[in-house]
A and B are shown apart, each in its own frame.
Chain A
Amino acid sequence: MIKRALWLFNKDLVSELRTRYAINALAMFIIVTISVILFAIGQEKISHALAAGLLWVVIFFSAMSGLSRAFVSEEERGTNLLLQLVASPTVVLTGKLFYNLILVFTMNMVILVLYSALFDAFALKNVFLFLASFVLGNTGLAFASTIIASIIAKANSKGTLYPVLSFPILLPLLLMLVEITKKCSDGVAFGEIAPEFFALVSYNVIMATASYMLFDFIWKE
């Protein structure tokens, strides 16, 4: 099963490298949002808390612009019927999940590196704790956006629906991540972020379970 899913992942990756559809949109988005924030702040001194919040704003909107491609591109081109024919729903979901995971990680690493280099106010005292939460945040983002993408691919107004549907689903995730990032830049012990951290773990578990349970119904008409 994993092997088949990896073939789908491989197909999507090669396809993306050839068409550069999501990569270009994502790169532009990251550069534009970060520059706009830089200009807006100017010489102003911003707090750790604000810097932490803004990081996730950049990540949220970049995710919006790139992650829906997984299913929307199949649906738009009409190739989803072929996928339905040759693969089971579990294989399709797993393959698309792998792909979005890689995309989220790459995108967020780039954002994180750029962000840390450009914003002095963004200084982490608990780097290790932050990175652990960052990884969980990425997986949560990938789980949520994959299943949302599969839902909106079936709808008629794809463009507008994605942010609308993502917002309530991603909001708890983002709130937890902003909170953790703030605390990590203040430098706290694990005990203090433990509630958010475990909430993050449960978010991942819930999203993964819900995705696999729902996907059969979403994928087959």
Chain B
Amino acid sequence: MIKLELKELTKIFERRVIFRNISLIKDAPGLFGVAGPNGSGKSTLVKVITGLLSPTSGSVAFSAGGREFSPGEAINHFGFASPYLVLYDEFSARENIEFSMKIRGLQFDEAYVDELLQHFSLLKRKNDPVRAYSSGMKQRLKVISAFAHKPELVILDEPTANLDSEGKARVYELAKIAAAEKLVIFATNEEDELAMCNEVLNINDYKLNNNTGKGAKV
């Protein structure tokens, strides 16, 4: 079971405080929400958690069974989908996923990926180049790649951006199943997505100069 620990995590861009002193421990399983209005710092927080941005101060740690993962190890234990991640246009869905598995040093479990593609009605298109995908199809593929290596922690930034109601339902279905044994994080401002979460962190509770984390709905 994976455990995510944030210690006094602070991110400041130039002089704008995005969040300050976020400290929390999250154990799998569960569905955890990060909320806040546009521009509040949801994407920034998940980028810091995944190591794509470094925090101004504080730290992020992943552990399982009391043993902490090194940053290099951690990358294979979480999956991440975000509007900021761009797929390779000239490669097909299959090739994109195979590449991200192989470069992680993992086996490419094609049968499982096919199941996921089937779940999102993309199986028939899996050999088409991503260039030929619609924005909703790309979002489906991003969610698939977040799950493809069976990570214990799945972080979805705007999980249902560009998706139709069927696509949304598919994401929720997958997230709920995963949240029963793993840790899933939604960064979103959709009311119904936040309602699905066991707990919600509101970024706006972490803006004050000397906040101690109190007053937060965690």
Write the residues of chain A forming the contact surface with B, with a CB cutoff of 8 angstroms: 3-4, 7-8, 11, 14-15, 18-19, 77-79, 81-88, 91, 95, 220-221
Contacts and interface: CB of A to CB of B under 8 A. Distances in A.
Nearest to B142: A82
B124 interface: no
Given A85-B50, A85-B75, A85-B85, A4 B105 contact: yes
B54 A221 contact: yes
Contact of A84 (B52, B89, B104): B52
Contact of A7 (B53, B91, B102): B102
A91 B103 contact: yes
Given A87-B103, A87-B104, A18 B86 contact: no
Contact of B103 (A8, A19, A81, A220): A8
A114 B98 CA distance: 39
B88 interface: yes
Contacts of B103: 4, 7-8, 11, 83, 86-87, 91, 95
A15 B75 contact: no
A215 to B, nearest CB: 14
A4 B104 CA distance: 7
Contact of A81 (B52, B72, B105): B52
A24 to B, nearest CB: 15
Nearest to B85: A82
A83 B84 CA distance: 12
B105 A85 contact: no
A88 B82 CA distance: 19
Contacts of A86: 75, 100, 103-104
Interface in B53-70: 53-54
A15 B104 CA distance: 19
A102 B36 CA distance: 48
21 contacts: A4-B102, A7-B99, A11-B88, A15-B90, A15-B91, A18-B90, A19-B90, A78-B84, A79-B87, A81-B86, A82-B87, A82-B100, A84-B52, A85-B51, A86-B103, A86-B104, A87-B104, A91-B103, A95-B103, A221-B53, A221-B54
Nearest to A7: B102
B54 A82 contact: no
Nearest to A19: B90
B147 interface: no
B32 interface: no
Contacts of A11: 88, 91, 99, 103
State the 9 A-B residue pairs at the shortest beta-carbon distance, nearest first: A78-B86, A7-B102, A18-B90, A7-B103, A79-B86, A86-B100, A87-B103, A82-B85, A88-B72
B80 to A, nearest CB: 6
A199 to B, nearest CB: 36
B84 A15 contact: no
Given A19-B90, A79-B88, A85 B99 contact: no
A82 B84 CA distance: 9
Contacts of B89: 77
Contacts of A4: 102-105
B139 to A, nearest CB: 15
A118 B91 CA distance: 40
B86 to A, nearest CB: 4
Given A78-B84, A82-B85, A220 B54 contact: yes
B101 to A, nearest CB: 9
Name, among A3, A4, A11, A18, the residue most crowded by chain B CB atoms within 10 Å (CB to CB): A11
Contacts of B84: 78, 81
Contacts of A3: 105
A95 B105 CA distance: 13
A69 B88 CA distance: 15
Contacts of B90: 15, 18-19
A101 to B, nearest CB: 19
Contacts of A88: 72, 75
B99 A77 contact: no
A221 B48 CA distance: 11
A7 B97 CA distance: 12
A79 B102 CA distance: 16
